[in-house]
Amino acid sequence: MSGCDTRCLSSQVVWDTLGNRQFCSYKITTKTQNFCRNEYNLTGLCNRSSCPLANSQYATIREEKGRCYLYMKTIERAAFPRRLWERVLLNKNYEKALEEIDENLIYWPRFIRHKCKQRFTKITQYLIRIRKLTLKRQRKLVPLRRKIERREKRREEKALVAAQLDNAIEKELLERLKQDTYGDIYNFPIHAFDKALQQQDAESESESDAEKEEEDDEDMDKREFVEADDSDLSDFEDMDKLETSSEEEQEVEEEVEKKASRSKSKGKAPLKGPARRKRPYLEIEYEKETEAATKTKAA
């Protein structure tokens, strides 16, 4: 028997053993057809021409880290499992890679050469789609952990209740400390009390400032016309009285000056020293008892 006959005979024996009669771990049976899960399978179908175990001369295309490789198996290396498959790196260019496949599989069966080109085309297409999807913005689906969310929500509610209770207790103790309810029973740190008082003062100041600003804004925005009161009229009358009194004083001063000039013309010496403040002129009348004097003379 020739080498080709022995090779075909051994492949047929393997196929008859695995494919038809006994169990194969790579075989998946469905209602329509059978599939193969072997990583070196060329088409993914479980049949005589596509089985990598039942063919001593076999070739396939595989993708590793974005690069395509041509794997070839021959009967000459069947005795060396470590070197059973020959791997050839294909070019990134699609046309050059097809030429490399034709060169390496020039004397192989047409079925294997055609299926290798078809598989290489499919792998190239899904690599292009992967690159496009990675460059395109995508939505990220984040799983919702309901149990953890409920637990965190309960913790937040408990913390809020505890904080409100602590604040209420602190306010009550500060009120009692202000009122001196317990006297000197407790050794309470005075700095905490001072701090609370400062906070209250700051809050009251901020509130008063805000009220003043609001009032100023209202005063700036609103204009009002008010009727004159009786007090305003009385103020005007008082002003008139003051003006008339000032005029009378000026007249009295002028009369005093005239009399002083007359006295100076009669030869009186001028007064020495600093000039005195001029006083208003006053007229004084004296009454004499003339009747009593005549009686005394007659006696």
| Run means of pLDDT, 10 residues per run, the chain, 299 residues | 56 75 83 89 88 89 92 88 90 93 91 93 93 85 86 90 82 76 60 69 75 66 53 56 62 71 54 58 68 53
Task: Output the pLDDT for position 114.
Answer: 93
Task: Output the pLDDT for position 112.
Answer: 92
Task: Output the pLDDT for position 217.
Answer: 62
Task: Output the pLDDT for position 173.
Answer: 77
What are all long-range contacts of 136-141, with beta carbons under 8 Å and residues at least 24 apart? none
> Do residues 105 and 94 make contact, with C-beta atoms less than 8 angstroms apart?
no
Task: Output the pLDDT for position 160.
Answer: 87
Task: Output the pLDDT for position 1.
Answer: 45
- pTM comes to 0.45
> Do residues 45 and 36 make contact, with C-beta atoms less than 8 angstroms apart?
yes
What is d(CA 51, CA 284) in angstroms, rounded to the nearest whole number?
A: 155
Question: Could you tell me the two tokens for 210?
Answer: 């805000």
Q: Write the CB contacts of 83 (distance below 8 Å, at least 6 apart in sequence).
A: 77
